[in-house]
Structure 1
Amino acid sequence: MKKTLPASQPADLPASSESRQGERSKASSNKASSNKAPSSKASAKKPSSFYMKQMRAGLSAAGYVKHETWVLPENRSVLKHIEKKLRQPLIGSAPVLENDMIAGENWTIDRLFSALQALDEVTSNEIGLSLIQGAEPSIKLEMHDFGGLPIYIAVVGEQIIVDTVLVDLESINDVARFNDAVLRSREMFPLSSIGIESMPNGQTVYNMFGALSASSNLTNVVTEVKTLVDNVQRATEAFESFFN
């Protein structure tokens, strides 16, 4: 009797050349699909409005408020300068716009003295203020809430130096150990350093001081003074065992 093959080809028989070609085409198509570049939507650059929104959110989170202002076109640059000033906190009644200070101009000792006179702490006599004339004029502040602690400010070239005497050499009971402790205290007193200086009368003292640019705004100058006062208190407590 003549046998006939089933209608469907057994799975273990080799595929026809047409079938193999179709499978290769399908595999190539799948590989090409997997290597496609990311969609234009995923790789598109963010618009400028996105970054502006981020900036406004950051300013709002920092506590700033938006205020619309109308000015002449030629005054836009002036307004931007004033805006930066108004983002700084007021200290007492200090003139935040610093009318006696041109942007980018260095302070002179006379202009700085006049600006400091407007502070609430000075007008209420919490801080005594005097101008010391001499070969190198300086400003003396007496911190009445801290026992009259004297702080001196000098404008030296491109810098403003704020300093005070921490202790005189004769008052140290172990100079070597004290010097070692001072050299290891760099991180204890932010914005301030300690150095040795010979006074005009021949006395050797340890000064605590800070320095900032002579073009710094008034807020930063006052912050430097207050930071120095805080650091003097901390240094006195930290090094108390070295003092006679």
Structure 2
Amino acid sequence: MSERPARAVERTRAWREARKKAGWVKIEVWAPAACKADIQNAVRAIVYESARGPELSRNPNPKGVTTMDQVIDTAWTIPALKAALDGSNLLREGELTAQVIEGADPVLLVKMHEYGDLPIYVSSGPLQMVLSTILWPVDEQEDQAEFNIFLLKAQKLVPLSNFGISTIEGRDYYELFGEISAKTTLQTIIIELRTLAENAIDAAGDLRESFRASTKSAA
């Protein structure tokens, strides 16, 4: 499990290079907190249109775009979310696959193929939906106490995601997660999946490198 983020980093770097060659750019925006909601909505609209493509722009309600892409009156269930993702034209071809993990409370396992098959787990309740991915074991992290403080400070720079620690089979792992309303649109859920995957790759690569650099400079 601990090797997965490293493999995902290399595949994602190649994916980013391909996006750059295609004319895409990554933009970081600093703005007053009061403007956050307006900026997020604008970005979502841009991502939505790019995902829709010319065919969806001409036909706003084609086959594969359900009413749950628009107005949500009830909370998502895990089976309904899987069915919506399987049939949605908002996704890029081969972008992800979803699998229901049965249990007392079903969980959706989403594999983000453009991010090295990074697994994201989705759970949904009456009020909120939680999307999370496991990063690396806590006991493999050097200078754990200092790194945990570093993470808390870096949290402000990671959009729409939070860091935590989860125990799996008696071993602690760093985790990245996001929380959204259970009555949100499918479009927003897809954006959250992409954002969480992007942030997980950054955490496994750039963030850890920044920590190593900061500790070396302090020494």
Shorter-chain TM-score category?
A: 0.5 to 0.7
User: For 2:199 and 2:71, how far apart are their aligned partners in 1?
Assistant: 31
Matches within 5 A, 1:59-78: none
User: For 1:141 and 1:149, how far apart are their aligned partners in 2?
Assistant: 8
Letter in 1 for 2:172: T
User: For 1:103 and 1:192, how far apart are their aligned partners in 2?
Assistant: 23
**What's 2:183 paired with?**
215
Aligned CA distance change for structure 1 residues 91 and 186 (closer, same or farther; 3 Å):
same
1:137 to 81, 92, 106: 106
User: For 2:182 and 2:50, how far apart are their aligned partners in 1?
Assistant: 20
Letter in 1 for 2:138: L
Decide which structure has greater helix share: 2
Is 1:113 aligned with 2:82?
yes
**What's 2:217 paired with?**
none
User: For 2:129 and 2:50, how far apart are their aligned partners in 1?
Assistant: 20
Gaps of 5+ in 2: 1-41, 43-47, 57-63, 213-219
Aligned CA distance change for structure 1 residues 121 and 142 (closer, same or farther; 3 Å):
farther
Structure with more relative contact order (C-alpha pairs < 8 Å, separation 6 or more): 2
Which secondary structure state, in structure 2, belongs to the residue aligned with residue 184 of structure 1? helix
User: For 2:50 and 2:187, how far apart are their aligned partners in 1?
Assistant: 7
Aligned CA distance change for structure 1 residues 111 and 142 (closer, same or farther; 3 Å):
same
RMSD, aligned α-carbons: 2.6
Letter in 1 for 2:200: V
Letter in 2 for 1:95: V
Structure 1 residue 125, shift from structure 2 partner = 3.1
**What's 1:235 paired with?**
203
1:47-79 deviation line (CA, Å, top 9, x unaligned): xxxxxxxxxxxxxxx8xxxxxxxxxxxxxxxxx
**What's 2:166 paired with?**
197
Percent of aligned pairs sharing the same letter:
29
Gaps of 5+ in 1: 1-61, 63-87
Is 1:125 aligned with 2:94?
yes
Is 1:187 aligned with 2:156?
yes
Letter in 2 for 1:225: L
Which secondary structure state, in structure 2, belongs to the residue aligned with residue 230 of structure 1? helix
Which secondary structure state, in structure 2, belongs to the residue aligned with residue 105 of structure 1? coil
User: For 1:194 and 1:110, how far apart are their aligned partners in 2?
Assistant: 27
Residues 127, 141 of structure 1: 8 Å contact kept: yes
User: For 1:227 and 1:155, how far apart are their aligned partners in 2?
Assistant: 18
Is 1:95 aligned with 2:65?
yes
